[in-house]
Amino acid sequence: MNRWPAISDLESRSNKRLPSFAWDYLDSGTGSEQALDRNLDALARVTFRPQLLKGLMEPSTETSLFGVDYAAPIGIAPVGLGGLIWPGADTALARAAADRRIPYVLSTVGTESPEVAGPEAAGMGWFQLYPPREEATRRDLIDRAQNSGFTAMVITADVPAPSRRERQRKARIRVPPSIGPRLVLEVARHPAWANALRRHGTPRFRCLEKYVDAASMTNMAAFVGANLGGTLSWDYLAAVRDQWEGPLIVKGILDIHDAQRCVDNGADAVQVSNHGGRQLDGAIGAIDALAPIVGRVGDQVPVLFDSGIRDGLDVARAVAHGASFVFCGRAFMFGLAAIGEAGPGHAYDILHEGLVNVMHQTGCESLDQLSDRLTTKPA
């Protein structure tokens, strides 16, 4: 694994191994991708002042959240259509989570069903809900998550409408893929991806299939567009809160008042995120939104974080800003696309080793000491 010691190594290898439509889907942001860059730039500005001469140290990353013990405050964020990026993605991610003892979040628009992915994650699975318009669908999805062993529910708030995602439009991503000469050529040029496709079959929205009749299956993407999203309101959140018995997390929060209102409406955590720069190109860099939200609600609920994490140093930066848990979307997918099934575990090892190393280098034995080592106190 020393051939790929950094997430950036996995990223460049995935770029080579993925057909261009899959790469564009994974890598892109929205608009001119300013938010995507802003996330990385804002993280890179966070620096530490080490404290030394502490002798032998054994930093611990063990973290417990909602009564579950995890190996580190690092989790796998929901990635819809994972099977298009790498066929078989969701089971590979779920298994890596079970193996490394970290959370894995299955997307509503994932390419595996909760009934299959939940048991694979062996108690490490969380379920992400895009709010279905139909009440019956919502109730059924939540029941299925509950019955499939998912321990937490993440409701995504930051898709009030689809984003334009110009690069994805140019890549002409469709589910199921429309088979034309361009697609055939792309697949033929990427044999590892083609082999994974042969093993796992064409990616499908397996979570949602039962709500769409077979005739309209070819138009699953249209179903997703018409039936999910644009629905979330405070009343909707209350209805989900009523039904879901476990911890409820609202993902995609950037505003302190929204964060407080989530807590007032029964959320057990908020997740600061700008969807990895995929929704609003003018969005604040996610790390810049974190400390103010921790300041507002951090003494009431855990504050989780994602968007722009590319190494263990970034995890440390987010933890130092008050995140109780840090999620990554692309980093785990780069691992999977670069080296297949073993990739997500390797991506985790990179992030984890990096975090432990930063703790050593800064003189922190526990995660909560990291904030004292920041050179600039966050706003």
Ligand X SMILES: Cc1cc2nc3c(=O)[nH]c(=O)nc-3n(C[C@H](O)[C@H](O)[C@H](O)COP(=O)(O)O)c2cc1C
* 303 burial type by CB count under 10 A (0-12 exposed, 13-18 middle, 19+ buried): buried
Stretch touching ligand X by CB under 6 A, among 12-20, 177-185, 224-232, 304-312: 304-312
Q: Tell the smallest beta-carbon distance from residue 51 to ligand X (Å).
A: 29
Segment contacting ligand X by CB under 6 A, of 1-9, 256-264, 274-282, 352-360:
274-282
Contact call for residue 30 and ligand X (CB under 6 A): no
78 part of the interface to ligand X, by CB under 6 A:
yes
- Under the criterion CB under 6 A, does residue 156 sit at the interface with ligand X? yes
Q: Which one among 13, 138, 190, 275 touches ligand X, defined by CB under 6 A?
A: 275
Is 141:228 a contact under the CB 8 Å cutoff? no
C-alpha 356/C-alpha 92 separation (Å) is 25
Asked if 77 interacts with ligand X (CB under 6 A), we say yes
328 binds ligand X (CB under 6 A): yes
Name the minimum Å distance from CB 309 to ligand X: 5
By CB under 6 A, name the one of 112, 120, 186, 306 that touches ligand X: 306
- Catalytic annotation on 200? no
Closest distance of CB 323 from ligand X, Å: 13
Cα separation of 109 and 297, whole Å?
A: 30
Q: Of 330, 346, 352, 373, which one interacts with ligand X (CB under 6 A)?
A: 330
Would you give the distance in Å from CA 174 to the centre of its chain? Answer: 21
> Would you count residue 109 as binding ligand X (CB under 6 A)?
yes
Q: What are 68-72's contacts with CB under 8 Å, separation 24+?
A: 68/123, 68/124, 68/151, 69/101, 70/101, 70/102, 70/103, 70/124, 70/325, 71/100, 71/101, 71/102, 71/352, 72/102, 72/315, 72/351, 72/352, 72/355
Judging by beta carbons within 10 Å of its beta carbon (0-12, 13-18, 19+), is residue 136 exposed, middle or buried? exposed
Nearer to ligand X, 4 or 23 (CB): 23
CB 371 within 8 A of CB 332: no
| Cross-strand bridge partners of residue 269 | 249
Number of amino acids touching ligand X (CB under 6 A): 23
Which has the closest alpha carbon to 67: 11, 151, 182? 151
Does position 128 bind ligand X by CB under 6 A?
A: yes
Stretch that binds ligand X, among 15-23, 133-141, 202-210, 326-334 (CB under 6 A): 326-334
**Cα–Cα distance between 271 and 260 in angstroms, integer?**
12
196 to 235: interface string for ligand X, x by CB under 6 A: ----------------------------------------
From 190, 200, 257, 275, the catalytic residue: 275
Q: Using an 8 Å Cβ cutoff, are 339 and 306 in contact? A: no
- d(CA 242, CA 224) in angstroms, rounded, equals 24
- Contact residues: ligand X, CB under 6 A: 25-26, 77-80, 107, 109, 128, 156, 251, 273, 275-276, 278, 306-309, 328-331
Q: So which residues are the catalytic ones?
A: 275
